[in-house]
Amino acid sequence: MAERRKLILVVIDGLTPAVFEDAVESEAAPALAFLAAHGGYGRGVSPFPSLTPVCLSSLATGEQPDVHGIPHLVWYHRGERRVVEYGSSFAAIRAAGTRRSIVDAIFNMNERHLRPEAVTVYEALEDEGLTAAAVNVTCYRGRTRHRPLLPWLTRPAFGPKRFFFFNLYESDVTGAPVAVFGRSGGSVDAYAAAVGRWLVTRDGFDFLLYYLPDYDFASHARGPEATGEALARSDAAIGALIEAAGGPDEFLERYAVVVCSDHGQTPVERVASLQASFASVDNVVVTASNRAGMVYRLPGCREDAAALARRLDGSDAAEVALYREGDEAVARREGEELRFAPEDGGWRTSGDAAILDQPDALERSWCALANPNAGEVIVSPPIGLEFTDLAGHSHLGGGSHGSLEAGDSEVPVLTVGLEQPVPQRIVDLAPLALEHFDAA
């Protein structure tokens, strides 16, 4: 295997292209501006629904949701006849059952819900004899068994060789501070910075997925245009890596870098309950939060998917309702339909093409519907609207994401020191990493 520079994939959760571009142009984020001056840049697209568990699973596996199997932040597990809630809000976690939700988010998502055919980038690289590292990323499945640090937590987690997960699991003693307190002040990114500094100082990896989630937390609270302080903290966490390498020149000599987000965010101006649209229908389960919702038909439901989708005609809660009918997918809006299916490397369509004019909408919609854990109907709301979660919680006055719309789905993608063109989809980042190491 030809020797390559080590690779760092930095993910700033929720960062929009517009905020990234403004920060780089104004040099308000000096570490990002430095990297941008030495790399290539473009806008990429997330999978749908554009929610963190779905997007990070695509980032880590290089697969769309139809392959990796993670459908949403909250979904109905048909086999176990229960709702899975990864963390739409603390109130939603309590509503779904706190212990069960924690187990789902930390363990089951990786061990049981992420399908085995979706090989993670950590698994693939370490099968080639390389060392992978992950900091705080929730899609972490690897080959190495790690023991928990807390005495009341006894269950091991299987991650990459270098594995750091919010003070719960640490493959090495780094002296990093506690991550979970002071989140509004950037404590999780500060923890990541301490771990990243330790890893770079010791040259402790070939591939590092460096996940910085505090920006998304701030954007949910204040909206995507009021996040300057949060971005400065994320930028400082990237600067910590550069400093630990000995400075900018030394950093670029040692590392190739990708900087991206997992999804965008848009302002929340109003909220709605998707459940209310189906309150009169027996034997359905509606799961919704942020800016995406799903409707599941249970045994005994008298309405097919098309009839359930028609219930949203004229509803302020639905921009697009998606469902499968035979070998086609259907996108419905205000009584109009677009039917589509893959054909000869492209798409066969009939109907109103304007219904799915969002970025890469045909493929993203098709793959979301083909996910075996998805509902029979998937709903993408209009701009400005968020669905309340299981506990009635919302981000009204702040920001949210999840829909097909460009603002939720477009992300900045910056590459430095790579021969490949800048990817146009985040699902292409894991294959890019494998190709970089001749491990594809």
For residue 299, is it within any domain? Answer: yes
Per residue in 24-50, pLDDT (tens digit) is 999 999 999 999 999 999 999 999 999
Average pLDDT of span 178-182: 67
Per residue in 144-172, pLDDT (tens digit) is 999 998 877 889 999 999 999 988 999 99
SS3 state at 324? strand
Strand intervals (E) in 189-249: 207-212
Residues 245 and 372 in one domain: no
| Structure confidence at residue 183 as a pLDDT band (50, 70, 90) | low
Residues 328 and 228 in one domain: no
- C-alpha–C-alpha distance, residues 66 and 69, integer Å: 6
Per residue in 299-316, pLDDT (tens digit) is 999 999 999 999 999 999
Which strands form 346-351's sheet, in the order they lie side by side?
284-289, 292-297, 377-380, 320-325, 328-333, 336-343, 346-351
By residue count, the chain amounts to 440
Q: Check residue 126 and give its pLDDT.
A: 97
Per residue in 331-375, pLDDT (tens digit) is 999 999 999 999 999 999 999 999 999 999 999 999 999 999 999
Residues 64 and 198 in one domain: yes
For residue 154, is it within any domain? Answer: yes
What percentage of the chain reaches a pLDDT higher than 90? 92
Q: Check residue 1 and give its pLDDT.
A: 40
Q: Check residue 395 and give its pLDDT.
A: 97
Here the CATH number for the domain that contains residue 260 is: 3.40.720.10
Domain count, the chain: 2
Q: Check residue 2 and give its pLDDT.
A: 45
For residue 274, is it within any domain? Answer: yes
Average pLDDT of the chain is 95
Q: Which two tokens stand for residue 171?
A: 């493959």
Per residue in 399-420, pLDDT (tens digit) is 999 999 999 999 999 999 999 9
Per residue in 96-132, pLDDT (tens digit) is 999 999 999 999 999 999 999 999 999 999 999 999 9
Average pLDDT of span 245-250: 97
Residues 259 and 281 in one domain: no
Strand intervals (E) in 284-419: 284-289, 292-297, 320-325, 328-333, 336-343, 346-351, 377-380, 385-387, 399-400, 410-416
Residues 176 and 225 in one domain: yes
Q: Is the pLDDT confidence value at 20 over 70? A: yes
Q: Which domain holds residue 310?
A: 270-394
Per residue in 195-223, pLDDT (tens digit) is 999 999 999 999 999 999 999 999 999 99
Average pLDDT of span 409-438: 97
Residues 291 and 237 in one domain: no
Q: Is the pLDDT confidence value at 66 over 70? A: yes
Quick one: 373 exposed, middle or buried, by C-beta within 10 A (0-12, 13-18, 19+)?
A: buried
| Structure confidence at residue 180 as a pLDDT band (50, 70, 90) | low
For residue 370, is it within any domain? Answer: yes
For residue 294, is it within any domain? Answer: yes
**What is the residue whose two structure tokens read 């909206």?**
223
For residue 23, is it within any domain? Answer: yes
Q: Which two tokens stand for residue 283?
A: 């034997």
Residues 139 and 27 in one domain: yes
Residues 361 and 222 in one domain: no
Per residue in 266-297, pLDDT (tens digit) is 999 999 999 999 999 999 999 999 999 999 99
Tell me which H or E stretch contains 9: strand 6-12
For residue 75, is it within any domain? Answer: no
Handedness of CA 166, 171, 176, 177 (dihedral sign): positive
For residue 78, is it within any domain? Answer: no
Residues 234 and 361 in one domain: no
Residues 289 and 329 in one domain: yes
Residues 150 and 280 in one domain: no
Residues 300 and 359 in one domain: yes
Q: Check residue 3 and give its pLDDT.
A: 62
On whether the CB atoms of residues 377 and 323 are closer than 8 A, the answer is: yes
